[in-house]
Chain A
Amino acid sequence: QVQLQESGPGLVKPSQTLSLTCTVSGGSISSGSYYWSWIRQPAGKGLEWIGHVYTSGSTNYNPSLKSRVTISVDTPKNQFSLKLSSVTAADTAVYYCARVIMYYDILSPWGQGTLVTVSS
């Protein structure tokens, strides 16, 4: 059974870059049947799709974040990552990684989420 686990600093200073990694276990990230996504949720608020990456390396990003976000995949490590630059307090949120089932575009499963706080 595939599981995803987010990791990275829980505290980032304003104007710096937020970096998170999602480690995939129980399956290969290189499977052609899936691609990989990041979603975030500010405290007490709804969900926001950040973007996704295919194992080929091609990406799609939310235009609201596109100028600041990079999602990449590291197949030897079975990981994919999120980088968000020039962060502000508005980027404080729980960040989730998720597998996307191709053809159906289903987000499943999700990682447990990791809280990132932007504060000096």
Chain B
Amino acid sequence: DIVMTQTPLSLSVTPGQPASISCKSSQSLLHSDGKTYLYWYLQKPGQSPQLLIYEVSSRFSGVPDRFSGSGSGTDFTLKISRVEAADVGFYYCMQNTHLPWTFGQGTKVEIK
């Protein structure tokens, strides 16, 4: 199985400040079809996960442009340009390139 390792596991951010989460995979996530199936999900308190970013850097419908994704191969990053109170929760990276699909451990983001 592909192991997804997120750092840090916890992040406390002042509103308006940037935040960054790293996700590293144990194998390249570049698929033979040329796409990289790396996703970022946010699970807000008491809610089910919701998609933020798909295929490394594409923002899902309705996701604010303060969220951005980047990376390639085995190293990926989610950045929040200006953290807001609504952004608190657990952030998970996920890979769908290889079966079984696997998630990172999650990064808890809270507001200072």
Contact = CB atoms under 8 A, between A and B. Distances in A.
Interface residues of B, number: 23
A48 B100 CA distance: 10
B86 interface: no
Contacts of B106: 46-47
A118 B54 CA distance: 34
Nearest to A6: B48
A29 to B, nearest CB: 19
A96 B50 CA distance: 12
B41 A107 contact: yes
B104 A106 contact: no
Contacts of A62: 100-101
A111 B101 CA distance: 18
A47 B103 contact: yes
Q: Lowest 7 CB-CB distances: which A-B pairs, in order?
A: A110-B48, A49-B101, A62-B100, A47-B103, A105-B96, A108-B51, A46-B106
